[in-house]
Structure formats: structure tokens, C-alpha cells
């Protein structure tokens, strides 16, 4: 069954706020005219921004609220005002069934706390995980999780992340049997913490699930494209993600500095421009914007706070795809199959 995507947008989230969030939603609808939206936030600002996007205006309902979750709000503070903020009301629309998914570019910790409290975790999931697609040198992107929702994880958490990540890879990338690996300090079986080794031992015994556990992977292989899903605790994952993003900016800035250092370098830039444009496209975080909270009874995506309209549109597209392909059902079924196989 194909579900019609209706997405709740936290219009007040992000570094720019209403203007950028609505520009991204409008861009997404131009490519996917079946999308419908619930725009949550200050009605005056939303209606003003919609003047520039008649196509979006025709497909949107507005829920007004003056409340906003700031970037400095702690999750506990955000929870206390969840029912009066744009972020909280966007998630509530998913809980009520008015929307199939929600997108916010606001405070990550607050979004996680609100989504977990409102939607609850799936049966068999102890903790939800934050997952994102990252570019590789291979034919496909790679799913990485957890990216910061859980700093401490035991073997059960890592196994659950692996099952959810494989389901996500099949949904988002169309892979029939995703290759799954655990991030570790070495590839030998004796390397790593007790939790990682225990999770690996149990994943090697998994049968009957559409996934292939390949063992351990080290940090220098994250972008090689050798696997489709990389599993780790949120502490290691967040450090790895920020390192990847920082390295991408370093390479981009270094190339810019090198190509503007002399007249000869500028001429060289003009000659090599097609290659540098391809590199720029590959490293642009807006092309891979959108992290999903897996393990919840509903679809909630986090857009990068500094994402431009193209980045927001990509996040909205991903949200729509996960709704249409019913990611929640796929994860639930895989978890049930894993539990029955693990018990056997």
C-alpha cells in the first residue's frame, strides 16, 4: 500500500526559520506534487512567506503557535512547553495521525525528547537511534547510526540499531540485502569493548533477515563504500560525523585557497572546474540532509539547522519516501523476525 505523504513542518526551526523552511517545502512539492503539509508556527509569518509560494499555499494547512524551542533549551525545558511550541505541535500531528511524518531543523536534543515521549518506542526497541545517509566512494550512500541520541549503548542496543539500519537502507536505497558492520578500533574479533564483541557474536548468528553482517569496520573506511550500514554508539557516531563534516570543509577550503593563490592557479581552476564542481556536489551537506529517528512509532526527521532550501527539500523528500514505503512497518517486522530467530 502506498501512503499519501502529509508532512508536518516545524516552520520556526533552523537558523533562518520560516522563510527557508517554506522555501524548501515548496521546492519539494514542485518535484512531488502529491505532497501535502501542515505548517506549524507563527501564522502571520507563515502567511507572509506563502505569498512567494502559491503552489505550497494550496497544499497546506496552518497551525498557529507563538511558542518556539530555542537552540539553547535543554530537553527538559522543551518538554515542559511541548504542547505550545511549533516543534511539539508538529510531532503531535504525527501522534494524532493528521500527518505521516514531521520535519524540524530545530534543537536536536529537544526533538529527540519530544518525539520519544509523544510517539513512544516500537516493541522490542529500548532506545531510538538517529540515522543519516552519508556519501561514499561506492555505488551507494552509507547509513550511519547512532549519531548522538545515545552516548552509552549495550550489546542489545547495537543489535537493535543494526536491524533498524538495515531496514532503513532497504527503504531509502532500495538494497535487498544491506551489508552491516560495527564501528571498532580494529577488524580482529578480539578488538573492542565487551559490548561490541558481544553484539558482533550475536549478529553473526542472525539468519532469515534481509541483511549481511560483515564484522568490524575501522574509522578510515567509513567513506569507502565497502558496507551499507555502520553501527556505533551515539558518542562515537557523533564524533565520526563531525570529523567527516570537518574534513569535507577542510578539503573544500584548502582547494579554494590553492586555486586563488596565484594567476597560474586560477587558470588551473578554470581548466579543472568540471572536476571541482563534481567534488563540491559530492561534499555539499545539503545533498544528504535529513537524519531520521529510527525506532519510534512514527516518522520524525531532523534537518540541519544551517540547511538551505535545497537541503530542506531533500529532507522533506526523504520524509515522504519513508512514509510512502512505510518504514515503521518494515522495522517492526524485521524486529519481530529477529526476536523470534534470536529466541530460537
Mean pLDDT for the stretch of residues 163-181: 92
Residue 339 belongs to some domain of the structure: no
Q: Indicate if 163 and 261 belong to the same structural domain.
A: yes
Beta bridge partners of 296: 121
Q: What domain count does the chain have?
A: 2
**Domain assignment present for 117:** yes
Tens-place pLDDT, residues 213-262: 999 999 999 889 999 999 999 999 889 888 888 887 787 777 777 777 77
**Average pLDDT, integer, range 302-308:** 90
pLDDT in tens, 12-33: 988 888 999 999 999 999 988 8
> Are residue 113 and residue 253 in the same domain, yes or no?
no
Q: Are residues 89 and 1 in the same domain?
A: yes
CA–CA distance, 263 with 269 (Å, rounded to integer): 10
pLDDT at 2: 45
Are 241 and 303 in a shared domain? no
Adjacency order of strands within the sheet including 36-41:
60-64, 36-41, 6-10, 101-104, 299-302, 291-294, 129-134, 142-145, 229-231, 179-183, 212-217
- Say whether both 33 and 98 belong to one domain: yes
Judge whether 160 lies within some domain.
Answer: yes
In a shared domain, residues 158 and 97: no
- 47 and 148 share one domain: no
Residues 130, 274 within the same domain: yes
Q: Where residue 28 sits, what CATH number does that domain have?
A: 3.40.718.10
Residue numbers of the domain that contains 225: 126-288
pLDDT band at 285 (very low <50, low <70, confident <90, very high): low
Predicted pLDDT at 157: 95
Same domain, 158 and 279: yes
Backbone angles phi, psi at 303, to 5 degrees: -90, 145
Q: Are residues 14 and 159 in the same domain?
A: no
Other Cβ atoms closer than 10 A to 279: 15
Amino acid at each position: 500500500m502506498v501512503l499519501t505523504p502529509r508532512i508536518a513542518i516545524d516552520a520556526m526551526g533552523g537558523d533562518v526559520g520560516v522563510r527557508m523552511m517554506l522555501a524548501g517545502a515548496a521546492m519539494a512539492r514542485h518535484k512531488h506534487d502529491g505532497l501535502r503539509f501542515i505548517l506549524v508556527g507563527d501564522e502571520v509569518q507563515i502567511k507572509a512567506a506563502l505569498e512567494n509560494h502559491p503552489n505550497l499555499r494550496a497544499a497546506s494547512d496552518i497551525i498557529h503557535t507563538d511558542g518556539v524551542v530555542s537552540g539553547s533549551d535543554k530537553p527538559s525545558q522543551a518538554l515542559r512547553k511541548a504542547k505550545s511550541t511549533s516543534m511539539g505541535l508538529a510531532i503531535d500531528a504525527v501522534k494524532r495521525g493528521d500527518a505521516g511524518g514531521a520535519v524540524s531543523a530545530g534543537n536536536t536534543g529537544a526533538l529527540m525528547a519530544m518525539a520519544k515521549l509523544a510517539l513512544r518506542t516500537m516493541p522490542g526497541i529500548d532506545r531510538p537511534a538517529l540515522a543519516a545517509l552519508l556519501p561514499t566512494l561506492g555505488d551507494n550512500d552509507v547509513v550511519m547510526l547512532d549519531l548522538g541520541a545515545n552516548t552509552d549503548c549495550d550489546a542489545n542496543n547495537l543489535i537493535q540499531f543494526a536491524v533498524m539500519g538495515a531496514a532503513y537502507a532497504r527503504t531509502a536505497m532500495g538494497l535487498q540485502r544491506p551489508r552491516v558492520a560495527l564501528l571498532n578500533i580494529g577488524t580482529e574479533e578480539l578488538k573492542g569493548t565487551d559490548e561490541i564483541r558481544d553484539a558482533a557474536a550475536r549478529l553473526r548468528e542472525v539468519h532469515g533477515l534481509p541483511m549481511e553482517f560483515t564484522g568490524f569496520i575501522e574509522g578510515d573506511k567509513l567513506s569507502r563504500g565497502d558496507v551499507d550500514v555502520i553501527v556505533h554508539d551515539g558518542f562515537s557516531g557523533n564524533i565520526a560525523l563531525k570529523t567527516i563534516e570537518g574534513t569535507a570543509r577542510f578539503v573544500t577550503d584548502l582547494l579554494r585557497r590553492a586555486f586563488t593563490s596565484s594567476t597560474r592557479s586560477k587558470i588551473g581552476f578554470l581548466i579543472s572546474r568540471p572536476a571541482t564542481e563534481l567534488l563540491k556536489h559530492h561534499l555539499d551537506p545539503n545533498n544528504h540532509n535529513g537524519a531520521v529517528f529510527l525506532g519510534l512509532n512514527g516518522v520524525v526527521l531532523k534537518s540541519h539547522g544551517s540547511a538551505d532550501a535545497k537541503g530542506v527539500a531533500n529532507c522533506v523528500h526523504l520524509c515522504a519516501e519513508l512514509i510512502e514505503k512505510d518504514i515503521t512497518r518494515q522495522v517492526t517486522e524485521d524486529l519481530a523476525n529477529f526476536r523470534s530467530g534470536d529466541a530460537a
